[in-house]
Amino acid sequence: MKKILFLILFLGALESYSQTKIIVKNDEGLLLIPSKANGMQACFIYNAEETENLISQKQAMYMFRNEFLHKPDIIGAPKFDSTDEESLAEGTVLIIKDFQFAGLKLNNIKCTIVKDMDAPFLICKSTIADLGVTSFDNNSNTLSVASGNMNFDFSKVNMQFALPKETPLPKDAPVNVTVTDFKGRQLSNEIMVFKSRKKQIEYQNQTNDQGQFSTRLPSGDTYQIYILGFKDSTSIPDSLVIPGLGQLDGRKYYKNPFVVAYKFLPAKSFVLDNCNFDNGKATLQDSSFKVLDELVAYLVRKDDEKIEIGGHTDNVGSAASNLKLSEDRAKAVRDYLISKGIDGARLTSKGYGMTKPISDNKTPAGRAENRRTEVTIME
């Protein structure tokens, strides 16, 4: 097709009128008109000699990649791939469902793809004629649709038109995550971490009420996956491998998401390490506040959980005195959490004294392990 040189047409959206008259001055005898196709601002040219509507290949790919057009809009291109411009061959016919011409609307117009064309669209005489009585004056380069008094002289616009820039294709990959327990119950507010093997960078996200989240990760890397607990993490045995673009089948971007579906049983109890008290008392030491503040943050995130705070002692002293001490220490932790904004209705404190040792009370190290504050997640 003959290369077309023309001025930019850039006007605000034209309001709908039943009578429209447009004047343009162009050496090629072509009319440049602003338009909207499928809600997208564009422009097209008009030629009374053309017998079919045309659309540039580049414009068509732009509209597909930005979802102004979809595969069902193509006539006779069953193997179309939006990542491959050449799959949308010259001569392919598209149906554009909504095309606004100078404020007047066209529906379901057929456009044939042309590979090399300097304008996004070319609209033929017969399509314009569908709007009503039309006439084109070659001497004055004036197109009249019906009759009217709206005049636009595009020759006064002194700018150069450029085709829309192609949308950059994403280099990362979409990932959809679902986390449940072994009974299929969705686990909300679970934090999953993806650690890149190449750069050792960590990416994390948190599940919603449906136990799901979506994220994007750089391609060309392998990711170790972890679920964060209170003080530790659970490693998922299988890594997530996202091949680099072009490594498998020459693809230019990832359209379909990778899927991570993980089942696990969250820990039901954990010990508050370094939750220390004055000797023989229920007074929290300053060194305890760090782990208690971490527990506060955990409870804020897991806002649907209720916990029991259990106090435990070694076997030094009487059973009665150890039971009382363990109760007082558990209550001190509960009071601290409430002071930090945690609802008391979610917190139960209980003392067990020396009845549940986890180590041998015959050694100093064993007795130190038995003196502990333990958190249990309640059903």
Sign of the torsion angle spanned by Cα atoms 368, 369, 370, 374: positive
Q: Are residues 122 and 196 in the same domain?
A: no
Place of tokens 């309640």: 378
Q: Are residues 39 and 145 in the same domain?
A: yes
* In a domain? residue 221: yes
The CA distances from residue 13 to 22, 34, 43, 130, 315, in Å, are 15, 8, 11, 21, 84
What residue numbers bound the domain in which 147 lies?
20-156
- What is the tens place of the pLDDT at every residue in 55-101? 888 888 877 777 777 777 777 655 666 667 677 778 888 888 776 65
Alpha carbon distance 128, 285 (integer Å): 84
Alpha carbon distance 166, 170 (integer Å): 12
For residue 144, the tally of other CB atoms under 10 A from its CB is 17
Coil, strand, or helix at residue 98?
Answer: strand
pLDDT at 375: 95
Q: Are residues 196 and 146 in the same domain?
A: no
Alpha carbon distance 210, 206 (integer Å): 11
- What is the tens place of the pLDDT at every residue in 228-273? 888 778 888 889 999 987 655 566 778 889 999 999 888 889 999 9
Q: Are residues 132 and 236 in the same domain?
A: no
Domains in the chain: how many in total? Answer: 3
Q: Are residues 120 and 31 in the same domain?
A: yes
Identity (one letter) of the amino acid at 223? Y
Place of tokens 């040792």: 357
**Phi and psi at residue 156, in whole multiples of 5°?**
-85, -10
Place of tokens 């502990």: 372
pLDDT at 95: 84
Q: Are residues 180 and 273 in the same domain?
A: no
Q: Which of 237, 263, 289 is the last residue of a domain?
A: 263
Q: Which of 156, 186, 201 is the last residue of a domain?
A: 156
Q: What is the largest CA-CA distance in the chain?
A: 113
Q: Are residues 215 and 338 in the same domain?
A: no
Q: Are residues 72 and 130 in the same domain?
A: yes
Q: What is the domain-level CATH number for residue 339?
A: 3.30.1330.60
Alpha carbon distance 212, 170 (integer Å): 22
Find the length of the chain. Answer: 379
pLDDT at 167: 56
The DSSP-derived string for 157-226 is: ---B--PPPPPPPPSEEEEEEEEE-TT--B-TT-EEEEEETTT--EEEEE--TTSEEEEEEESSEEEEEE
Sign of the torsion angle spanned by Cα atoms 214, 217, 221, 223: negative
The separation between CA 175 and the C-alpha centre of its own chain, rounded to angstroms, equals 9
The separation between CA 253 and the C-alpha centre of its own chain, rounded to angstroms, equals 15
* In a domain? residue 10: no
* In a domain? residue 13: no
Q: Are residues 36 and 151 in the same domain?
A: yes
Q: Are residues 120 and 237 in the same domain?
A: no
**Which pair of tokens denotes residue 119?**
């304008």
Place of tokens 């391609």: 219
Q: What is the domain-level CATH number for residue 38?
A: 2.40.70.10
For residue 152, the tally of other CB atoms under 10 A from its CB is 18
pLDDT at 96: 82
* In a domain? residue 164: no
Residues of the chain below pLDDT 50: 1-32, 34-42, 146-164
Neighbouring residues of 87: CB distance < 8 A, sequence distance ≥ 6 = 77, 79, 80, 81
Q: Are residues 283 and 360 in the same domain?
A: yes
